[in-house]
Each structure stands twice: as C-alpha cells, then as structure tokens.
Amino acid sequence: MLSLNRPRENWCFLRVAIARPILRAFRQVIKRSGALPAVMVLLSVAVQTHAGEIEPRAYVNTPVGVNFLLAGYAYTDGGLSTPGSSPIKGARLTMHTEVLAYARSLDVWGNSGKIDVIVPYSELSGTATVAGQPRERKVSGLNDPRFRFSVNFYGAPALSVQEFANYRQNVIIGASVQVSAPLGQYDKDKLVNLGNNRWFVKPDIGISKAWGALTLELSTGVYFYSNNDDFFGGKTLKEDPLWSTQAHVEYQLGRGVWVALSGTYDYGGRSTTDGVRNSDLENNSRIGATLALPVNRNNSVKVYVSDSIHSSAGSNYSLVGVVWQYRWGGGL
C-alpha cells in the first residue's frame, strides 16, 4: 500500500506493480506464439555472471563524433546466478537496477567504431536455502562497471552525419572487446553480491545483414575470468571460459521506430572452489524483445523484456527494462 510518509517504499511498490504485469504479458505472448524453441534473445542487465545479456544492433554503422548518454532501469525476478552456487537452493531474488552509460562513435582507420562505459547500481533482495537453513539477503550498491571498444572492419565506413544520409547497410562485420573491473559491492562472507571481486575480458565478433527494413544479426564471444581469491570466507574461486552467442531479427517500422526479437545461448563457465569442481556448468538460453521509439532528433526510448527458455545454472529469471537515450555532437 502507498503511504505519504514512505516515499522510498512507495517507489519500490510502484516499480514492482508496473513490472510484474509486463512480465506476465510477455510470458503469455511467448506461449501463444510457440516461439520458445525457435528464437533466442539478449538484453543488457547487471547480473552476476554477465551472461544472458541481450543487445540488438551492437554492430551497426553510426556517424562519427556522436555522443550518447543513456539512463535506464531494469527489474529482474527469479533465480539470479551466483558463482559457485552449489550451496544455494531455491533462490528467489528480485533486483532493481539503475544504469548510467556513455558512448561515443569513432573513426578507427577509416572504419566506424565506438567506445562505451556502463555503470550500474542495484538493489537486491530475496530468500534462499543455504546448507539446509533459510537465509534472507538485502543489499544495494554499485555493480562492476564495464568498458568496451568496438570496430566495424567491413561494410561500415566512418562517415560524417551528412555522408551518413546516403549510406545503406548491406553486410557489416565487426568485433569488440569488453572489460569488467572489480569495483562493485562485495562481501566475502556472503554468497550473493552485486560485484564479483574479479575481472573479466570478453572478445566478441559479429555479423549483420540487411534486406531493406529487415536485418539479421549474429554474434558470438567468450568471457575469460580472473580468479576471485577472496570468495565466501577466503576461498579461491576459478571459472572456466563461458561462450555466449546472440541472434537478433530486427525490423524497421519507419520514422526511426524499430523492433527486435532476440535470443542468447550460453555454454561453459563451470567453476572450481579451492580445487573442488562445482556442478554449475551453464547450458542456458533466453528469449527477449526490444522496441525503440524516437522522441525527437536527440532523444529516444527503448523498452525491453526477456525470459528464460532453459537454465541449467543461473540465468533463470525474468527481466523488464526501459532506457532513455540522448545523443549530441557530430553535426546533429
């Protein structure tokens, strides 16, 4: 219930009240369409392993010198992933994540490129059983920030805003490298944290092909993790590389409006704690959708949802989010 004396509780209540009906509606759309085995999805939210993200249009051409400021909110509900999670049973967690990001398009030796920085902040709460005992966890703070450099080395030349007006996409091939720094909230005495207390590096390669208003995009990458030498009471956590593949079907509806149906498949990432192998090999797939709506020349809004198709370890959660984007520079 809303209370005039509890503004923070009112805000949390409204976020959940809005997000849950959208998630239920999304599940019904998937069930009625029979699309579960046919497509895969990926959209960005800060969760523990960072896999299961969905990001359509990662490999597109953008005029050089344009800046992007993004602010977003995402709500997740379900069994979020925890490294070395074998002691945790029946986890039911919810997370509210606010994201602030900056990106800039670049001229990389005649090809279009981009740098971006993502800083998420989350509020997580939920319950689980650990070693047969019920536990409750509430925590808030920064997630690990991420930095990425990408370049399209085929089919997307570096163009000014004026030159870009005559550009028509055919085939684009690009690559990126993303790095996550261990700067987020972390408590070695807790199994569930917002930060990971370790680095990861993710090289990625993608291809995008356009047929008029329809575009197909496929990308694949691999997460390489450093060790966490202070995991849950001072143990050492190691994790195998995790392979992640995304597929997107995008359609331009006109006047800058576009939709995407996406999917992701992750495999690997089995962890070892103090030399003991954990039963947490990831074999996960997700499906999702994105709708982009321009407001004016400089502003746009994106709404996105995703849900789990299959999950062997972590990634079994539902997600709904919205992102506002403001762009400037480059002659806009």
State which amino acid sits at residue 110.
G
Contacts of 23 (CB under 8 A, 6+ apart): 75, 77, 305, 307, 318, 319, 320
* Buried b or exposed e, range 161-170, using 16+ CB within 10 angstroms: eeebeeeeee
Q: What is the pLDDT of residue 50?
A: 55
Q: What is the pLDDT of residue 278?
A: 86
Which of 5-9, 164-168, 224-228, 299-303 has the lowest average pLDDT? 5-9
Question: Bigger pLDDT: 93 or 43?
Answer: 93
- Quickly state the pLDDT bin for 71 (edges 50, 70, 90): very high
Gap between the Cα atoms of 281 and 48, Å rounded: 15
Eight-class DSSP state of 4: T
Kindly state whether residue 131 falls inside one of the protein's structural domains: yes
Which of 25-34, 146-155, 234-243 has the lowest average pLDDT? 25-34
What percentage of the chain exceeds 90 in pLDDT? 66
- Quickly state the pLDDT bin for 223 (edges 50, 70, 90): very high
- Quickly state the pLDDT bin for 89 (edges 50, 70, 90): low
Kindly state whether residue 28 falls inside one of the protein's structural domains: no
Total of domains in the chain: 1
Contacts of 204 (CB under 8 A, 6+ apart): 58, 175, 176, 177, 178, 219, 220, 221
User: 77-81, 128-132, 257-261: which has the highest mean pLDDT?
Assistant: 257-261
Kindly state whether residue 20 falls inside one of the protein's structural domains: no
The continuous run of DSSP H or E covering 79 comes out as strand 67-79
Quick check: 68 and 164 in contact, CB under 8 A? no
Other C-beta atoms lying within 10 Å of the C-beta of residue 156: 23
Q: What is the pLDDT of residue 6?
A: 54
Kindly state whether residue 191 falls inside one of the protein's structural domains: yes
Question: 214 forms bridges with which residues in the sheet?
Answer: 211, 251
Quick check: 286 and 274 in contact, CB under 8 A? no
- Work out the average pLDDT over 276-280: 87
* pLDDT at residue 218 is higher than 50: yes
State which amino acid sits at residue 299.
N
Q: What is the pLDDT of residue 232?
A: 87
**CA neighbor of 235 nearest in space, from 189, 203, 193:** 189
Kindly state whether residue 108 falls inside one of the protein's structural domains: yes
If you average pLDDT over every residue of the chain, what do you get? 84
Tokens of 286: 């997700």
CA 135 to the chain's CA centroid: 27
- Work out the average pLDDT over 244-250: 97
- Quickly state the pLDDT bin for 330 (edges 50, 70, 90): confident
- Quickly state the pLDDT bin for 313 (edges 50, 70, 90): confident
Three-class DSSP category at 11: helix
- Work out the average pLDDT over 120-130: 87
* pLDDT at residue 253 is higher than 80: yes
Three-class DSSP category at 329: coil
Other C-beta atoms lying within 10 Å of the C-beta of residue 108: 17
- The range of the structural domain enclosing residue 128 comes to 38-328
Other C-beta atoms lying within 10 Å of the C-beta of residue 332: 12
Kindly state whether residue 170 falls inside one of the protein's structural domains: yes
Domain of 256: which CATH number?
Answer: 2.40.128.130
Three-class DSSP category at 159: coil
Gap between the Cα atoms of 261 and 56, Å rounded: 9
Kindly state whether residue 11 falls inside one of the protein's structural domains: no
Burial class of residue 205, CB neighbours in 10 A (0-12, 13-18, 19+) = middle
CA 59 to the chain's CA centroid: 15
Other C-beta atoms lying within 10 Å of the C-beta of residue 159: 19
* pLDDT at residue 15 is higher than 90: no
Q: What is the pLDDT of residue 19?
A: 52
Q: What is the pLDDT of residue 24?
A: 52
pLDDT in tens, 131-159: 677 888 899 999 999 999 999 999 999 99
Q: What is the pLDDT of residue 201?
A: 98
Kindly state whether residue 88 falls inside one of the protein's structural domains: yes
Task: Report pTM.
Answer: 0.83
